[in-house]
A and B are shown apart, each in its own frame.
Chain A
Amino acid sequence: MTNDNSLMAGDEGMVVLSKLDSLINWNRKSSIWYLLFGLACCGIELMQTGGPRTDLDRFGGIPRATPRQADLMIVAGTLTYKMALRAKLLYDQMPEPRYVISMGACATCGGLFQLAYSVCKGVDKIIPVDVYVPGCPPRPEALTEGFMRIQDKMMRERWAAKLSGRVLG
C-alpha cells in the first residue's frame, strides 16, 4: 500500500481506509492452513507443491497435522470407501469457514479406478467441493492455481457485512 492510497496523519502514524470485509478476507487468504491429506500418488505432488519450488508458504499456506487447525482440505489421491468415512469425519472436525480442493482425477470422480469395487466415485459424494483441479496428477503449478482460486473465493465473501445484517444470504 503506497502513501497515495492512505491518509497521512502527521508524522507519527498512518491511517489506512478499507472495507472491513476486505481487511478480514485479506488476512484470511494470506494464511490458508491446509490439512495434510495425501491419499495416493497425488499426495507426492501435494508435497512438491509445499516444497521450495512452488512454495505454498508464500501464500501463507502451511500444512497442519490436525483438521482442527485447518482451513482447507486438499483431497489428494484415490479415495476408497474405507477412507471416505474417515475423510468425512476429518471434514466435520474442521472449523468453519472451511474449503475443499479435490485434487486429481481420482478425488474428482474415481479417476482410472472408478470401476473398482473399493473406490469412491468422487469426493463430492461425501463432502462439498470448492475447487476441482484436473490432472493425473496435477502439476504443482496446477494445484497452486487451485489454491489461488480458493483465495479468490475468500476475497468475494462478505462475513462482516452479513453479520451486521446489511447483506442477506
Chain B
Amino acid sequence: MAASKQEPVRAKSKTREPSRAIHARIEARFGEGAVALEDAVDPVTLVRDPKQLIEVMSFLKTDPELAFDFLRSVTGTDWPKLGSIESVYHLYSYQTGQAHVVKVRVPRARPDVPSVERLWPTANWFEREAFDLVGIRYLEHSDLRRIMLPEDWIGHPLRKDYVEQPDYHGIGTTRASPLDAFAELDRARRALREARGEAPPPVRTSPITPPEGWVDPKAKKAEAKTKPASKPEAGSDAGDAKGDA
C-alpha cells in the first residue's frame, strides 16, 4: 500500500506521537541495531533479536518513565510468505495511562521466543493460547500446554497452512449438505427420463396472472417520460390498450 494513502490517517492518530516517543526512549537505551520502528497508526517497536526480548521488556516494565505494569495481551501472527511468525505484546501502564505494542519476529521453522512470564505472570495463559493456536514455542514457560483445544489436537489451527484432520476420535469433521442430496435426486431423475426418452417436464411459471386492466407501473412511467405533452388520461388508456395487445 502506498504510504501517501495512509499518511492522512496516521496523522490523525492521537497515539502515534506518544508511541514514537516511547520507541525513541527504547532506542536511546538499546541502540538502533536492537530495535526498529514499524510505523502505523499506532507505531510498533520491533525487537530485532528474540534473545534480547527479555532485556527490552524488563526495561519497559521497570523504567520509571515508561512503567508498563500491565500486559494486556499476547498474540501470534503467521506470515508464511515471509517465512516468519510474530509474537505481539500489548502493554499498558496504569501509572502513565500510555499503551505500546512490541513485537518480535522468529522463523516459522523454529518459532522459539523467550517467555515474559517472569515479568508479567499473566503471560502464562496468553502464551499458552499463542502456542495452542499459532504454535509459538515460549522458552522457559512454566507450563506450556494447550489451553483451549484438546491436548491431543494435531496442528496449530491459526497457522495459514493449517489443514483440518479428516476426523477427531472417530468423529468426522465434515457434514454433507442436504442440498447435495436434492441435486443428486435431480440428476437421477434426469438420467431416468433420458433413458426412457421422455420429454423434460414443462418449466414451471408463476401461477399469478395480472388482473385485467393492470398496467405495469414501470412501463407507465417510461411512457410518461417519452410523451410528456400528451394528456395523462388518454396516455394511460393508450398504454392499457398496448399492454393488453
Contacts and interface: CB of A to CB of B under 8 A. Distances in A.
A81 B171 contact: yes
A121 B149 contact: no
Contacts of B172: 121, 125
A121 B174 contact: yes
B204 interface: no
B164 A85 contact: no
A122 B175 contact: yes
Interface in A47-93: 81-82, 84-85
Nearest to A108: B175
Interface string B43-68: 00000000000000000000000000
B169 to A, nearest CB: 6
Interface residues of B, number: 13
Contacts of A85: 150, 169
Interface string B171-191: 111110000000000000000
Contacts of A120: 171
A118 interface: yes
B175 A117 contact: no
Interface centre among B148, B150, B174, by most chain A C-beta atoms within 10 angstroms, is B150
Main secondary structure of the interface of A (DSSP, over half): loop
Contact of B150 (A81, A114, A121, A126): A81
B150 A117 contact: no
A109 interface: yes
A110 interface: yes
A121 B162 contact: no
Interface of A: 81-82, 84-85, 109-110, 114, 117-118, 120-122, 125-126
20 contacts: A81-B150, A81-B168, A82-B148, A82-B149, A82-B150, A84-B168, A84-B171, A85-B150, A85-B169, A109-B175, A110-B175, A117-B157, A118-B149, A118-B157, A121-B172, A121-B173, A121-B175, A122-B175, A125-B175, A126-B171
